[in-house]
Amino acid sequence: MILRQLITHIGFLVVHINALPYENEYGPEYGDEWILFYDDEGNTHVMNFSTIPSDSRGMIFGDAYYYLYTRDNVDPEELFLPTEENQVFSSQYFNSSNALKVVTHGWFSSEQTTWIQQIKDEFLLKDDYNVITIDWSEIASNPIYPWAAFSTRYIGKKIAKLLDAITLSYQVDGSNMHLLGHSLGSQIMAYTASYSNQRIQRITGLDPARPFFELPMMPQECRLDKTDAVFVDIIHTCGGIYGYRKSHGHADFYPNNGKAKQPGCEGFQNVIEGCSHGRACLFFRESINSEISFTAYPCENWEKFKSGECRQNFTYMGYQATEGDFGDYYLYTKDESPYALGDH
């Protein structure tokens, strides 16, 4: 693949970008300056990131909401942050004996989106977890992508306060916390972990958002990377377009080479990409309770993997990924559920 060196002027910043050229009917700016985005309802939006807003005044149009699900409550319990710091808060269903999973969505999505509800259900089937889903759809539905992207920090800070309040009130500490986010949601979880007083055990990035994080490359403290938690695992499914292309976690998984188009994602450009971007969530969801594992193999690159090298060692992508996993992993999947191919 040919690397194209671009110099982009963003305000007073001059950023060198190694952009991957992306062949398509919309021309060379597509993928570098703007992209079509296909949301959960099937609507198309222009994700334009050719200019960063010059100031952030008025950027916040909405709030974040927190919903707790446990095996004891099918209907969500809305959680409210204590108004002051170091104040204990109480919940009807939070169970201090159990580990915590926190899940959130990306641009033009919400807590009600199918994959979040399904991942929540699979977690509760798997074990007696406290599952908190975060809804930041009021802000995520801002059609100006940069505003939604820059708001990830604000949302992350708020969730960090919630986690600290949980630790204070229920003695569940960071070692029992696992944060998951899709797209911009991955970036939110990076901020959450870094603003929290806890060292968070694990962050799973489900195709973490690329525009404004990897393109242009933001400083380490402004994007998800392996400093954010004890274990950061990333599933790449639309790398170089909506998702990170490069490895940023402890373990980076590249199913079907980590890019569009993922098997089963046919259609128009934006549909291919939206579908591929969403695959990371579907893979993770399936991995929680499925008997068929997403066996993944450490390898230098896709070409070597494809040629049949790199089959000596393996690990598992998704729920079963563990702290010892380190480096890049490759695997194939099927084009429909169940996606996993199992062992060897």
Ligand X SMILES: *[C@@H]1O[C@H](CO)[C@@H](O)[C@H](O)[C@H]1NC(C)=O
Among 3, 63, 72, 289, the residue binding ligand X under the rule CB under 6 A is 72
Q: Is 301 in the site for ligand X (CB under 6 A)?
A: no
Alpha carbon separation from 74 to 67, 135, 280 (Å, rounded): 11, 17, 25
From the CB of 91, what's the least distance to ligand X, in Å? Answer: 11
From the CB of 170, what's the least distance to ligand X, in Å? Answer: 11
Q: Is 90 in the site for ligand X (CB under 6 A)?
A: no
Among 28, 82, 263, 298, the residue binding ligand X under the rule CB under 6 A is 298
From the CB of 33, what's the least distance to ligand X, in Å? Answer: 7
Stretch that binds ligand X, among 95-103, 149-157, 160-168, 227-235 (CB under 6 A): 95-103
3-state secondary structure of 337: coil
Stretch that binds ligand X, among 75-83, 286-294, 309-317, 333-341 (CB under 6 A): 309-317
Q: Is 28 in the site for ligand X (CB under 6 A)?
A: no
Among 313, 335, 337, 338, the residue binding ligand X under the rule CB under 6 A is 313
How many residues contact ligand X, by CB under 6 A? Answer: 14
Nearest CA to 279 out of 224, 325, 233, 318 is that of 318
From the CB of 301, what's the least distance to ligand X, in Å? Answer: 12
Stretch that binds ligand X, among 42-50, 61-69, 180-188, 281-289 (CB under 6 A): 42-50
Among 28, 34, 117, 292, the residue binding ligand X under the rule CB under 6 A is 34
Q: Which is nearer to ligand X, 48 or 118 (CB)?
A: 48
Q: What is the DSSP string of 15-75?
A: EEEEEPP---TT-TTBTTTEEEEE-TTS-EEEEE-SS--S--TT------EEEEEETTEEE
Chain positions 49 to 68 lying near ligand X, rule: CB under 6 A, are 50-51
Chain positions 128 to 187 lying near ligand X, rule: CB under 6 A, are 128
Are 311 and 260 in contact by the 8 Å Cβ rule? The answer is no
CB-based contacts of 166, cutoff 8 Å, min separation 6: 89, 94, 100, 172
CA angle (291 as vertex; 286, 293 as ends), nearest 5:
70
Q: Is 98 in the site for ligand X (CB under 6 A)?
A: yes
Q: Is 97 in the site for ligand X (CB under 6 A)?
A: yes
Angstrom distance (rounded) from CA 293 to CA 310: 18
Stretch that binds ligand X, among 90-98, 130-138, 206-214, 270-278 (CB under 6 A): 90-98
3-state secondary structure of 252: strand
Q: Tokens 């229920």 sit at which residue?
A: 170
From the CB of 26, what's the least distance to ligand X, in Å? Answer: 8
Q: Which is nearer to ligand X, 34 or 302 (CB)?
A: 34
What residue spans of the chain are helical by DSSP H?
Answer: 114-126, 137-140, 145-150, 152-170, 184-195, 269-289, 302-306
Pairing of strands 13-19, 4-10: antiparallel
From the CB of 329, what's the least distance to ligand X, in Å? Answer: 10
Exposed e or buried b per residue across 44-79, where buried means at least 16 C-beta atoms within 10 angstroms of its C-beta: ebebbbeeeeeeeeebeeeebbbbbbbeeeeebbeb
Angstrom distance (rounded) from CA 19 to CA 32: 7
Which residues contribute to the site for ligand X (CB under 6 A)? 34, 46, 48, 50-51, 72, 95, 97-98, 128, 298, 310, 312-313
